[in-house]
Structure 1
């Protein structure tokens, strides 16, 4: 393992010397070109200042590594960073720049670049090579490498575009699938909601309409349910239930209440006894049931109205002349202490009068039931002359312009038109 040294005074001499030793050790033209440029850049400040630089190289045949050291006077290397050179250096100090490169041994009998203070290093050492041809070869190698990188970049760009196109197509398919699932889910929920609604009833002298709105779109049902049917004596029975909680669990409780009330009403039990009797029936099966209940009984022929309440918001009566008042019937709900209703409240409806039955989700969306009851009267006045089938939904829309406390909402309108 022999170390060789050469002193160079000019950039041209240094580049010729580096090119000669690189050619001697069969470095790839692209590597050779980078090494020539790196040495010229590292020694540039010293050579421009008229200072000599020393080029030293050693070949280790055991490892097949060529070590090239460029030495400049102290402080003359300039602000060179190892990674910033065209050929990244293995080490940079204040006086030395070191490269370690895989290389081939020099051919037997080859002459190394000689020392001439750097001005004519290649020629004085007897090197027989065309420097211009070597520089052109290095340039071609660098251009070929750049072209290869450009081609690779173009290939990767095309692959990325194809991948992005595939990902976009997949997103479109997933979005379409999600939309199909949402549509199917919504259809199922609507069918479930419709299945819980009792069929419309016809009673000469009455117009009935209902609006239901769940607290959240993820659960189409809740604890707010209604039931209406015609009793054997021709009177119309209406049940409004608001079971504690949300979702399917509260729906089950509300269904149990409405079914029990319907059974008791069809069996002929007095209106004021139904709430308490329903609590007695359900308590052994489900002690967790808590529900407010409002029962209405209307004679379509005469307009006579009976109301029984179990802790539920009062019904609102609007006369055809605009007079409005809440019908307060006393009682305690199912699952409450001492459940049951007191003597039913009675009223007589006149043609054109509107009765509004609802759950607290309609009046407590702003967390103030007193303010909600005032707003409900205003909304009911606004839509008093509207077709009955439009009244519940229109009132709910007016009441829910601001929702601070989302809850299931049920609004049921009854207009007495007379026979």
Structure 2
């Protein structure tokens, strides 16, 4: 993100915090400002921002170098007041008192993301309730039902815009790690709703090891997204605090039990030392990863004792899997959507091993997408799918 855009986002968050603007309204304002300012800043032009608080209302004014058409204004997640096209103004009601945003950019983004997801969830529930009420009325309200369907389509498109803005927060890009190549492919069940319970996280620990978390939360829609995000964030926090790798799944489940009592998720954790290739796996009710060797062999890496996921009875990985990746070896981590497309998991695992062998020397960057395409040639049971590839390229 360019420094000027980051400065504008910080300024808006600070103004919203001072005025006590709720997180949901703040999130829509920051997203609207980002969509307007980013292309202008990328083009090397200036965006002027003014903020003022009066009569328990926050006024935010954007002055842009060229007019913003009505169609583009209508597509923003927070509509501005009527204006001359080059100057856009929003008025937001203040809350009961100051509500500052977190100082950390990632933390502020996560808070805004959760507020937007909660708002989308509430709007979707409202839409379902309205549809149910209209379905019970007589044909005289048919025109209203048609209008509601149109509103539902508009809402779906607006949600897609919001979700695309949140993709970076939900699905981080691979970290740059000398000696390793990393790639990912996410395939949602519905292309216009790129969220679900399949999420991942990867980062480099202070000691140089790469930590990977893959989560598949039970359920569907924005609730499962929230659950999966909660699990990945909890594991990242505990891992960076230095909690033992072997107990991370159990500790995460214990930590979240009181916060999200209904949360259940399968979890797969991996630690890779890029210098030595040493690999450690912890599995909580998740499909086993696949090891593809440099000479084209493929096998499942699983322990004798199957662990349990977060929210399951007796959670945790009872037995770790240890291996050493040689130069050219590839580790494949995935969610069950990859192998259950034909409803037969054993067949799916067999087909995955065969495809892994056939594409052992495929470029890492496009390997996950290639496997998804091959495995989803016939889909009888659609589900979100995540595939991660980690290849050691040096000894």
TM-score range, shorter chain: 0.5 to 0.7
2:287 counterpart (299, 313, 316): 313
- Cross-structure match for 1:107: none
Report what 2:350 is aligned to: 374
Change in 2 beyond 3 A, CA 1:242/1:178:
closer
Identify if the C-alpha distance between structure 1 residues 385 and 223 changes in structure 2 by more than 3 Å, giving closer, same or farther.
same
Shift of 1:197: 1.3
| Residue-by-residue CA offset, 1:83-113 (whole Å, 9 max, x unaligned) | xxxxxxxxxxxxxxxxxxxxxxxxxxxxxxx
Q: What is the CA deviation profile of residues 293-329 of structure 1, one whole-angstrom value per residue up to 9, with x for unaligned ones?
A: 0000000000000000101000000101111110103
1:108-147 map, 5 Å: none
Partner of 2:17: none
Deviation at 1:180, TM superposition (A): 9.1
Counterpart contact for 1:302–1:418, Cα < 8 Å: no
Distance in 1 between the 2:184 and 2:279 partners?
19
- Residue 380 of structure 2 corresponds to residue 404 of structure 1: yes
Q: Distance in 1 between matches of 2:312 and 2:154?
A: 44
Partner of 2:208: 234
TM-score by length of 2: 0.59
Structure 1 residue aligned with 2:163: 189
Give me the whole-angstrom Cα distance separating, in 2, the residues matched to 1:256 and 1:182.
24
8 Å Cα contact 1:220/1:247 also seen in 2: no
Matched, 1:358 2:334: yes
| Alignment partner of 1:261 is 2:235 | yes
Q: 1:348-392, CA deviations, whole angstroms, 9 ceiling, x for partnerless residues?
A: 000000100000000001100000001111222222212111000
Secondary structure of the corresponding residue to residue 309 of structure 1: strand
Supply the distance in 1 between the matched residues of 2:358 and 2:169 (Cα, whole angstroms). 32
TM-aligned CA distance change 1:218 to 1:346, over 3 Å: same
Distance 1:363 1:180 in 2: 34
SS where residue 346 of structure 2 aligns? helix
Gaps of 5+ in 1: 1-176
* Aligned match for 2:270, one of 289, 292, 296: 296
Check whether the contact 1:230–1:237 (CA below 8 A) recurs between aligned residues: yes
Aligned pairs for 1:197-346 within 5 A: 197-329=171-303, 330-346=306-322
Shift of 1:342: 1.7
Cα distance in 2 for partners of 1:268, 1:381 equals 36
C-alpha spacing 1:181/1:279, structure 2 compared with 1 (3 Å): closer
- Using structure 1 for the length normalisation, give the TM-score: 0.56
Task: Indicate if the aligned counterparts of 2:293 and 2:360 stay in contact, CA closer than 8 A.
Answer: no
Q: In 2, distance between residues paired with 1:243 and 1:186?
A: 21
Displacement after TM superposition at 1:182 (Å):
7.4
- Per-residue deviation, residues 12-34 of structure 1 (Å, max 9, x unmatched): xxxxxxxxxxxxxxxxxxxxxxx
Cα deviation, 1:128-187, whole Å, max 9, x if unaligned, reads xxxxxxxxxxxxxxxxxxxxxxxxxxxxxxxxxxxxxxxxxxxxxxxxx99998776544
SS of corresponding position for 1:207: strand
Task: Provide, for residues 259-281 of structure 1, a one-character-per-residue CA deviation record: whole Å limited to 9, x for no partner.
Answer: 11001111111111000000000
Distance 1:178 1:225 in 2: 27
CA positional deviation for 1:193 = 2.6
Distance 1:385 1:321 in 2: 9
The residue number in structure 1 matching 2:107 is none
What is the rounded CA distance, in whole Å, between the counterparts of 1:280 and 1:240 in structure 2? 18
C-alpha contact 2:296 2:361 (8 A) present in aligned 1: no
Q: Which residue is equivalent to 1:3?
A: none
Q: Which residue of 2 aligns with 1:66?
A: none
Secondary structure of the residue that 2:238 maps to in structure 1? helix
What secondary structure sits across from 1:355 in the alignment? strand
Q: CA RMSD for the aligned pairs?
A: 2.1
Distance 1:291 1:178 in 2: 30
